[in-house]
Structures are given as C-alpha cells and as structure tokens.
Amino acid sequence: MAKKDRNWKAEAKKLKAKLKKLRAENATEAKPAKAAPAVSPLAPAGGFPELPVIDGVEFATVAAGVRYSGRTDVMLARMAPGTAIAGVFTRSATRAACVLDCQAKLAGPVDSAAGAAIIVNSGNANAFTGANGQASVDRVTGAVAEALDMPATRVFSSSTGVIGEPLPHDRITARIAELKAGLSADAIEPAARAIMTTDTFPKGASTEIEAEGGPIRIAGIAKGSGMIAPDMATMLVYIFTDAKIAPATLQKMLSRNVGDTFNAITVDSDTSTSDALILAATGRSAATEIKDLRSTNAKAFEAALREVMTDLAHQVVRDGEGATKFVEVRVTGAAGPADARKVALAIANSPLVKTAIAGEDANWGRVVMAVGKSGAKADRDRLTIRFGDILVAEKGWRAPEYSEEEASAYMKRDELVISVDLGLGEAAQTVWTCDLTHGYIDINADYRS
C-alpha cells in the first residue's frame, strides 16, 4: 500500500510540474490582435503627414508576435556611420531595462565612425523583469549589432506595453534578418505605426530650414496615448535630422527644449517606466556644421527642432486615451517659474477639472480649487481666470459681466484655453492636457488582459 502511495505521489508531482510548464508557455503565447480603436476626434486632419526622407536613415518593420499575433510590432531604424545621438529618458525610479541600457550607452565612449541603430517593440515593456530584462536587451541589441555590423554600444532599444512580463526576445531576434532585408529610406510611416500601443493614430512631424550651405531637414515620429505625465519623456519619440552637429551640442539643444514641449503635457498624471526620446543627426546635409550655439544656423536649427518636438507633444495629447477635448492651460503672473508650473499642472491634472471639461460644464470653481491646492503662492484677490476670451473671475469674486450661457457655449468647442493670472510676478508656464472621459476607463480597465 505504501509503495502505491509513493507511485501516486510521484505521478501527481510530475503532472503538476507539466501543468506549471504549460501555463508558463501559454502566458507568453501571442494573443489575437485586438480590433483597432476608433481614431481620436482630435487627430490632425489629413492623417499621417508626408515626411521628408532624411539622408542616412532607413526603416523596417515586422510582425513578430511580441504580444499579439498578426500585428506589426517591431521597428528598426539604421543610421549611417558618423551619426550623432542624443537622448532624454524617464526619471521613473522603476525604469525599464532598455532605458537604463540607453542611458549607459550615451554616457559611455562614442565610436563616431560607426553606424547606429534603434530597435523598438510594442506590446511588452520589458520593465520590472529583474536581471532577465537586461539579458533580453543584450540579446536583441546584440543580434542587431551582428546583423548590421556595428558595435552593440551603438544599438539603442525601446520597449513599450505591459509591465512585469518577460520579453519574448527570441521572437524579435528571429526576425532581425527580415528587418535588415526590408530597410528602406521611405518607410518612416510604417515605423510610426509599429510602435503604437493604445494609440489611435500614428504621429509624425517634420520641418526644413534653409541654413548656410544648404537645407537641413528634421523628421520625427512618436507614440503615446496613456500613462502620460511630465517627467521626460512620457512616451517614445524618435527624431532624425541630416544636420552636422556634435553629440554634446545636440544633447544640449535637446535637453533645454524638453521642459516646454514633452515635459509640458499630461493626459493622466502617470509617468511610464519606459519613456525615451532619441535624437539622431546623420551629418549628411550640405549645410555648414553647427558648432557655435549663438550662430544663425544653430538658432534656426534649434527653433526648428523645438517646432517638431512641440508638434509631436501636442499629437500625443490629442490622442489621449478617451480624449474629446484638447486643452491649453496658460498660467501667468506667478511669483516664480516653479510656482507657475505647479499651478499649471494642478489644473491640467485635476480629475475634477478634466471631468468638468468632458461634460462641457463651465465649472470655473474647480479651477479655483486647483490653484489653491497646487502649493504655489496665490492671493484670492489678485487671481484672474478666463475661459478663452471670457473673463470668468477677478478680484476675489465672479466677474460682474460673466455669463454662464456664454461660458457653457465655449465649453462645447473641441479645443479650449484656460488662462489663470496670479497677479504676483512675471513667471509663466503653458501646459497641454485633455479631458477625462468614460473612454479612459474602458481602455485601461482591461489593458493587461
């Protein structure tokens, strides 16, 4: 009898181990692709813009089944030898392995003669995955480096999607040869689509300037819809230019334009573990090299770069999960820059303000509340609030000429401006946000499943 018990227990143990293995395999199987969401009503008219080819940059995409089968989910960009790379990344304390890897590579020695590459997957963030996260990054970047004949230190990776799931990197490395074969200079739009998660439209922006010696072109793509809040970068963004510029100068320009572009937007006040902005300059333009930040070329280029960054940042807000309103919050008259930013973000992030906007309710009392809770210096009797051009409140009271009907009619617009003057100083800050609707809950209630 004892022998039979032992045999039964041993068999049960084997079956239990087999079941555990099957469950683990099923957990990483690609799921059927979800139906594409309806395009945001705030999406730019005309769809994805026609972006210029950037000399020295090629793109390719594949459907690797990282999370969903039948969905294009991996993008590869190859840059020519001599390309300068700059980047800014999330300051989250739980940064994903790919973010840490990119930061380490940018901080290390640069082989300027080598080419460079960016590989991005959607569906899985490879965040909070322990030591396995870095191992997956090494496998993916190593495979790209070998295929494209460049140092692994010049291959930058990003991952976006579900947090806490091991990255099935073998599905990506198995498609590297196909990605290499498909590289094309005019495939930036498919690249923008491949990096989308809950986005309802691909995001692209470009500009061109006439610089001394020839034109300089800039083109960028971005993804972002939810988990968007200022802490650099709150999304994935890749910007490419043919300008001749050293990495240190490129980094300085990028860093000092982040605060009023990508760090001045918020959808839901949540900062991702995986956010990154990478800027690549191939140096293929005939224009004179940008060395002196005070030069005409440098000023024109930086203004153009800021224009592209602002455009992409606004598109992310316009694609905010469930958004129906694009909202600009302008704060002026603050005692200092920090206070201006506190007030602007307090208004833009307030669930009460955002739901009132969604309901087209001219509830300016919620703006008063947000100013008061911000932690910034404020004086009730110096505060002025406007909805668009409509004076709502001043001198500690509702404006005498205020019309509830006029304000309510204004709130029905797709694009709104909320202006607050604190009357205490000269500092100002503008941020952009969207409303908070039932759609946001619908998207995020089952995102993992």
Binding site members for substrate = 197, 223, 234, 321, 444, 449
Which residue is associated with the tokens 């902005």? 277
Element (H, E) at 329: strand 326-334
Distances (CA, A) of 57 to 39, 179, 255, 411: 29, 14, 22, 44
The Cα–Cα gap between 267 and 278 comes to: 21
Nearest to 233 by CA among 174, 141, 160, 327: 160
The Cα–Cα gap between 199 and 48 comes to: 13
The Cα–Cα gap between 255 and 375 comes to: 26
The Cα–Cα gap between 260 and 306 comes to: 9
Catalytic residue check, 234: yes
Amino acid at 341: R
Residue 213 CB coordination number (10 Å): 13
The Cα–Cα gap between 299 and 248 comes to: 16
Cis peptide before 233 (omega within 30 of 0): yes
Q: Dihedrals φ, ψ of 16, to 5°?
A: -65, -40
The Cα–Cα gap between 40 and 29 comes to: 30
Q: Dihedrals φ, ψ of 392, to 5°?
A: -100, -50
Length of the chain counted residue by residue: 449
Give Dmax over CA atoms of the chain in angstroms: 94
Catalytic residue among 83, 207, 234, 282: 234
Residue 223 CB coordination number (10 Å): 27
Exposed e or buried b per residue across 156-172, where buried means at least 16 C-beta atoms within 10 angstroms of its C-beta: bbbbbbbbebbbbbebb
The Cα–Cα gap between 421 and 381 comes to: 11
* 445 Cβ contact partners less than 8 Å away, ≥ 6 residues apart: none
Strand partners, 111: none
Binding-site annotation: residue ranges: 197, 223, 234, 321, 444, 449
* Residue 256 near residue 88, CB atoms below 8 Å: no
Q: Dihedrals φ, ψ of 259, to 5°?
A: -55, -40
* Residue 231 near residue 90, CB atoms below 8 Å: yes
Give the catalytic positions in this structure: 234
